[in-house]
Every structure is written in C-alpha cells, then in structure tokens.
Amino acid sequence: MSQDKGIFITSYNQMGGITAHTVNFGPTARSMNDQLGAQLKQNIPVGASVRVVAVLGDGEAFGFANQVLTWMKANDYAKVDGVDQAVFSQPVLGQNINKKANDEFELIIGTRLP
C-alpha cells in the first residue's frame, strides 16, 4: 500500500493572501528586460533588417524569441521578421547575433544556458 506524500510550503512574515498560488520548480524561463534591450540596441541598428530565429522544438526558446520580437517592434525596429524555427548542426546556447550582410542581422535564440 503506497502513501502519498504531500509537499508542504511554509510562508513566514506573510501579510495576508494565499501562501502559494503557483510554485515553480527548476530554472525559470528567460524574459525580455531593459538590460537585454540595451544590448540589442548597442549591437543592432534600429534601421537594420532582423530575422528572429528560435531552436526548433524548444518551447522556452520560442517563447523568449516572441518576447524579443515584440520588444523590437515596440522599439522602432520596423524591419523585423520571425519568429522562425530552425534545426542547427550543433547545439545553440543562449542568444547569438549574426551579421549576414549590410544592415541584415539574424538573431538566434538558442537553448537556455544552464
């Protein structure tokens, strides 16, 4: 006969509300922020043509790539396209900027770094 063991969450100094509506285990997903936005502005001119690509089959990378695309459109990057998904011959980790030609860039969103 098996016994189910529950997970108990304790909150200290809580001032009302529910102790834990959602509990996330493991690493959290990436999200677009001001620091990443500043890095994009520093490395990709606003007038450039940008293609955003995520690693195929990685839901976290695809979700983050969509946040990046939305941020770029909201910050005057008029020639931004994507999010495309692609298969690469070697693992792609983190975010990579590839300059393809004059004012053409590819922003590849790889698997989250450990």
Please, what are the averages of pLDDT over each run of 10 residues along the chain (114 residues)?
A: 61 64 72 94 95 96 97 94 95 94 94 89
pLDDT at 47: 92
- 48 burial class (0-12, 13-18, 19+ CB within 10 angstroms)? middle
pLDDT at 111: 95
User: In angstroms, rounded to a whole number, what is the distance separating the alpha carbons of residues 41 and 99?
Assistant: 14
Domain extents in the chain: 34-109
Q: Distances in Å between the alpha carbon of 91 and those of 53, 96, 103, 105, 111?
A: 14, 12, 26, 20, 8
- Per the CB < 8 A criterion, the answer to whether 78 and 43 are in contact is no
pLDDT at 8: 64
User: In angstroms, rounded to a whole number, what is the distance separating the alpha carbons of residues 57 and 73?
Assistant: 24
pLDDT at 1: 46
Q: Is the pTM of this model over 0.85?
A: no
Q: Return the structure tokens found at 71.
A: 């941020």
DSSP H helical segments within the chain, as ranges? 34-43, 59-74
- Per the CB < 8 A criterion, the answer to whether 29 and 112 are in contact is yes
